Amino acid sequence: MSESVVFETSLGDIQLELYWNHAPKLSKRGYYNGVIFHRIISDFMVQGGDPTGTGRGGTSIYGQKFEDELHPELRFTGAGILAMANSGPNTNGSQFFLTLGPTPYLDGKHTIFGSAKGRRQNTQIKSCLNVPNTISLMRKYIYSGCLRHPRGETQQKHYFR
């Protein structure tokens, strides 16, 4: 069973499925409200999760860096893979990224904890977020909310502003 969240951006909503069974630490809490995608690299990825908005800050929901949750069956196969940004093994903080295409060279190096739901979502991610790397003009604010609890309980969709 997985949990779903919505990233509401200034260029459209992105619905993501969280991999509760593979990355329970990253999937069990909501943490990203009002943060921006601070780094955009065309045809590669968009990165967010830094509460300072600079790409240099951000602590984890645990207040410190935490270990990777790597699983060989989770791979960077295309657009819409949600993973933790890090500076090496077991250095996860608050920052995450969404891929804009296949990135197999990242397999086994970053904790994958979700993906866009459906082919339509992948197309939307690429069209919404695959833009020139012009950070000052392309900040995309994120608001997230739980859509479905991993135990199957339906919850009301919320956007936090």
Question: At 83, is the pLDDT very low, low, confident or very high (cuts 50, 70, 90)?
Answer: very high
Could you tell me which residues are beta bridge partners of residue 35?
A: 142
Among the options 11, 33, 44, 149, which is catalytic?
44
Overall domain count for the chain: 1
Among the options 7, 18, 39, 95, which is catalytic?
39
38 annotated active-site: no
56 annotated active-site: no
* CATH number assigned to the domain comprising residue 26: 2.40.100.10
State how far the Cα of 94 lies from the Cα of 53, in Å rounded to an integer: 12
Domain range for 76 is 3-148
Contact 97, 46 (CB under 8 A): yes
Residue 150 pLDDT more than 50? no
Residue 155 maps to a domain: no
Residue 156 maps to a domain: no
Among the options 86, 95, 122, 124, which is catalytic?
86
Contact 111, 101 (CB under 8 A): no
In the chain, at which residue ranges do the beta strands (DSSP E only) sit? 3-9, 12-18, 33-41, 45-48, 81-84, 96-99, 112-116, 141-143, 146-148
Question: At 158, is the pLDDT very low, low, confident or very high (cuts 50, 70, 90)?
Answer: very low
Residue 160 maps to a domain: no
State how far the Cα of 17 lies from the Cα of 26, in Å rounded to an integer: 12
* Segment 40-62, tens digit of pLDDT: 888 888 888 888 878 887 787 77
